[in-house]
Amino acid sequence: METRNGSSGSLLQRGGKRDLRNSTSLSVLSTVSSSLLSSSLLFFPLFGMARQLLHSLFALAVLSSVQAYFLVGNRDVLVTERLDPILSPGKVSSHTHSILGGSNFGMNVTTAQLRKSKCTTMPIQQDHSSYWFPTLYFQHKNGSFSDVSLYVVAHSMLSSKLILGSSIDYLYNDAENGKPNTVQAFPDDFRMISGDMTLRSYNASSYAQQAITFLCLNFNGVSTKYNFLPPISCPSGIRAQINFPMCWDGKNLDSPDHKSHVAFPSGGPDSGTCNNPAYPVTLPPKAGLLEHRSVGRNPWTDALNSTQPYVYSYGDPFGYGYHADFYNGWDSGVLQNVLNKCACTSAGFGDATCCGDLGVFTLNTSGSCNLTPVVDEKVTGTMPHLPGNNPVQYGPKDATIYAATSVPAIVSPVYAYTGASPTATGSIVTSAYVIAGRSAATATAAAFASTSTHSTTPAFVSKESLTIPPVSSSVADPDAASRALVSKARRHHAAHKRLTVDDF
């Protein structure tokens, strides 16, 4: 199997180290590291993955560069809903997220709160951190949307769902150019966002955009990497990949844009050091990988846009605005203990039990962890529009982010459960309502200010004049305007398809 580059600005090698975001395994839910930074320890949670298969595959990919690492399999997805406690604390988010991590996730989170989680989707039981990503939707010919559901393939191969696998990857450096390089664990209440959901074009010089790639998987042939959602049918699915910044200013747990307190290393998202005096502290390099595969239908004949049928929950048909959020919830001292003491050698080919046997953490690769939703709203299945009524915006201008015109009901309490279904559900504590007299294109932040933590959605002010398409209770066939947008998207993909082809 080969891996090739099908988009501009994506490097297969940086700083002499191979970008492992181009590597693939022979399984639907395969994943290998999204970056390699002279690392001596690799924490690599994978979703629904057989460790035996990964041992040999990963060893072949990184044995010459990685001295120590470990691999584990992420067990479940916590919940899918419109929450984002970093960007929209105490409110309903503008778009849907797929959430991993500790069960105490909610409209507001703190490290102390996450540590009290009853369960976690992470197999390392001391990792109660929250990780969330925008949900991917399939847009049908009639304009409706179906979510890309999160399932373990072994349990879902007979369904007519879209299947997604996920992982959170940690790579730990302890040396750079032969010199010690101290890595510091995330402090309490540290949080960050990687990516910008408003982007609808690509800047090849931006490290933040270089950090986002999409791999068109073909486990029996050539896999091709793009900087946008692949405009071709991918035999083994699509892997969305995003690196988080790893250099910290050492002072601020957050910043106004949730990004300025961190930076990518000197060589870009895949290589280099934290040699910028403004960001001197090296954090554990971390990436998120999500894999999508269509099962039970042909997306290229059932789609509104047969060139590329998927749209992210914030209305992005290209993936340029892809992003990910992280809120630290590791138990106190555990992650630093891993950095200081745990060394899973390459002879073990990533067997995480070597660290578990040292008592550094507790490893549990079985069971599940789920959460009943806070927001009483349909975000899965098929629906006439994206949750939050986000219009699909093709760019190339930055997308407009609209103020809320309605608010779904809020449910309390929520329940964590580890079985097939919850034993109890909460009641509606705030009813759904429409914000009367407010136009999405003219709303201001002040107009939606509220002292309640659960009564309103975040106030987003539009950056340019653009009318939101009307919402209908029924789904009509695409009109001329919709067809024009689809035609524009096809021209965009045709212009960017396979600009360069380099063997891995």
pLDDT band at 1 (very low <50, low <70, confident <90, very high): low
| Beta-sheet strands, E only, within 142-274 | 145-147, 162-173, 175-176, 179-180, 191-195, 212-216, 222-226, 238-243, 247-248, 262-263
Scan for tokens 């699909």, then name that residue.
392
Closest CA to 168 of 272, 25, 284: 284
Contact 371, 413 (CB under 8 A): no
Q: 304 near 490, Cβ under 8 Å?
A: no
pLDDT surpassing 50 at residue 454? no
* Residue 187: strand, helix, or coil: coil
pLDDT at 345: 52
Q: Which helix (H) or strand (E) holds 355?
A: helix 353-357
Is residue 376 classed as helix, strand or coil in its secondary structure? strand
Mean pLDDT across the chain:
70
Return the sign of the alpha-carbon dihedral for residues 200, 205, 207, 210.
positive
Lookup result for tokens 């990910």: 324
Give residue 77's pLDDT.
85
For residue range 152-166, what is the model confidence (pLDDT) as tens digits?
322 222 222 333 455
> For 412-417, which contacts have Cβ atoms below 8 Å and span 24 or more sequence positions?
412/374, 412/454, 414/106, 414/371, 414/372, 414/373, 414/374, 415/371, 415/372, 416/103, 416/104, 416/117, 416/118, 416/119, 416/369, 416/370, 416/371, 417/370, 417/371, 417/372
Rounded average pLDDT over 92-114: 96
Which residue's entry shows tokens 């994943």? 31
Q: In this structure, what token pair is assigned to residue 447?
A: 């107009």
pLDDT band at 147 (very low <50, low <70, confident <90, very high): confident
What is the per-residue pLDDT across 151-202, written as a single tens digit (0 to 9) for each?
332 222 222 233 345 555 555 544 444 444 588 999 999 999 999 999 999 9
Residue 32: per-residue pLDDT: 25
Q: Is 115 a residue whose pLDDT tops 50?
A: yes
Q: Is 75 left (phi over 0), alpha (psi -120 to 50) or beta?
A: alpha
Q: Within a 10 A sphere around the Cβ of 56, how many other Cβ atoms?
A: 12
Q: Is the pLDDT of residue 447 over 70?
A: no
Least confident of 14-28, 161-175, 225-239, 375-389: 14-28
Structure tokens at 199: 């982007």
Q: How many CB atoms lie within 10 A of CB 31?
A: 33
Residue 320: its pLDDT value, please?
98
**pLDDT tens column, 420-440:** 899 898 999 988 888 764 443
